[in-house]
Structure 1
Amino acid sequence: MSKPRAAVSWSGGKDSYLALNRARQQFDVAALITMFTEDGTRSRSHGLRPEVLQRQAELLQLELLPGRGSWQSYEAEFKRLLRELHDRQFSHVVFGDIFLDDHKHWVERVCTETALIAVEPLWEQPTSQLLLEFLNLGGEAHIVAIKAALLDESWLGRPLSAELLPEFEKLGIDPCGEYGEYHTLVTASPLFTAPLTITDIGHHLHDGYWMLDIVLAS
């Protein structure tokens, strides 16, 4: 019996990777979906360039379906992507939420309104265990965005590791950054056909976050 066809809401970070990895056991994961700014130059979630996320999709051997919109038009554009998935015989969409109820309720609603089923493989899992699961799977990721009110610029570019857990605890940071304290970019994993080779060309402050400007290595 064939598996149901699913897409993954993809940020490029560890949580969406973990959700993808878990979902593969139950679903035929065939695409990634990512929302970008209106001009298409940065992802809405992590401020990443589209070519970086496209390269991740290629390394995962998956199609990337991009959407563009302002925060005001975000829902309408996201639902356009969902309707496209439905028209292409997808039945499920996988998300990497852990314990943010408002976002979980939102994705369940927009999926229901477009005749799709939202799947939350990480829901209510202990975040320290999820971080270790990602690392134990052989995943590698780097911190590419931090909330400026909580962390200083020295955190940018740091590789994710188990050694960060006591530092996170001391600072009151959720191990997975579930409250938006930090965001990551997956640079290597068993599901990638090769490592993601990138270069940091600087950083900037945007909407209260320090963000690395990441480009593909030449």
Structure 2
Amino acid sequence: MLGKKFVASFSGGKDSTLAIYRSIKQGMVPVELITTYNSHKERSWFHGIPKNILSNISKEMEIPLSIIETTGEKYTESFEAKLKSAKEKGAEVCVFGDIDIQGHLEWCSQRCKSVGLEAYFPLWNEKRKDLVYEFIDLGFKTLITVVDHSRLSQDFAGKVLTRKVADAIEAEGADICGENGEYHTFVFDGPLFKNPVDFQLEEKLAIDNFTVIKFTNLT
């Protein structure tokens, strides 16, 4: 992988960020981040990050970011179109932060195959707990933005993920990594950032089974 140019499927969360960090440390060169954005709800899919925050993340990481505005019906089509565009900009590989869910690997690999990119999973089949601890110990800081309160206490929404918080999540019987969707995150500082991304919390919203943190940027 040394020297290969990559685009990253970037949710804004901890796993995709760690995958990008590892890829760069392995000598790969980032060309672009791509983030899917729910055009109906006006926030990123799954992790609930608004556009202005995503823009600031790109600025502080010094990696261009493209937003895929899509609905659920056109999600696959829109994702492949953006991958094709990234390939035209020089990307050879697409980096994903998936860990061990086979269906995710197959979906991502097929999207890449369709446009002639190589799919790369730097975290694949590693222990979830080890990955959470590695992420935290590297100095990354991440906010828990979404909690599935049918599986995890809504009190975790709005907390910064530390070892203590991660252990408390595990103690509740949820997956420590949130790989099954128990929680999602927004990374705002760490080794890839020139400066922390400023933001302020506004409110907690209850949407179906989820507690969602609404937040905005300060700059």
Query: Same-fold call, TM > 0.5?
Result: yes
| Larger CA deviation: 140-149 vs 156-165 | 156-165
Partner of 1:131: 132
2-side partners of 1:120 and 1:206: how far apart?
A: 31
2:66 maps to which residue? Answer: 65
Deviations 1:74-132 (A, max 9, x none): 00000110110111121101000001110110000010010001100001111111111
- Partner residue of 1:27? 28
Letter in 2 for 1:17: T
Q: Which residue of 2 aligns with 1:8?
A: 8
Contact 2:32 2:63 in 1 (8 A): yes
Question: By how many angstroms is 1:38 displaced?
Answer: 2.5
Contact in 1 for aligned 2:148/2:154 (Cα 8 Å):
no
CA spacing shift, 1:40–1:60, aligned 2, 3 Å: farther
Counterpart residue type for residue 4 of structure 2? P
C-alpha separation in 1, matches of 2:214 and 2:83: 29
Matching residue of 1:205: 206
CA apart distance, 1:16: 0.9
Aligned length: 218
Partner of 2:88: 87
Residues 1:38 and 2:52 aligned together: no
Identify the residue that residue 176 of structure 1 maps to in structure 2: 177
Contact 1:39–1:68 (8 Å) recurs in 2: no
Moved more, 182-191 or 105-114: 182-191
Q: How far does residue 141 in structure 1 lie from its aligned partner after superposition?
A: 0.9
Q: Distance in 1 between matches of 2:40 and 2:153?
A: 29
Question: Letter of the aligned partner of 1:190 in structure 2?
Answer: P
Name the stretch that deviates more: 162-171 or 52-61: 162-171
- Taking structure 1 as the reference length, what is the TM-score of the superposition? 0.95
Q: Could you tell me how far apart the structure 2 residues matched to 1:191 and 1:68 are?
A: 25
* Superposition deviation, residue 166 in structure 1: 3.1
The 1-side partners of 2:40 and 2:88 are apart by 26
Offset of residue 68 of structure 1: 1.2
| SS of alignment partner, residue 190 of structure 1 | coil
Q: CA deviation at 1:152?
A: 3.0
Q: Is 1:102 aligned to 2:136, yes or no?
A: no
CA distance in 1 between counterparts of 2:32 and 2:103 reads 25
Shift of 1:40: 7.6
Partner-residue secondary structure (3-state), 1:67: strand
Q: Which amino acid aligns with 1:77?
A: S
- Return the TM-score normalized by structure 2: 0.94
Distance in structure 2 (CA, Å) of the matches to 1:34 and 1:90: 16
CA-to-aligned-CA distance 1:29-85 (integer Å, 9 cap, x gap): 121000111358211121210111111111000100111111110000001101101
Sequence identity (%): 29
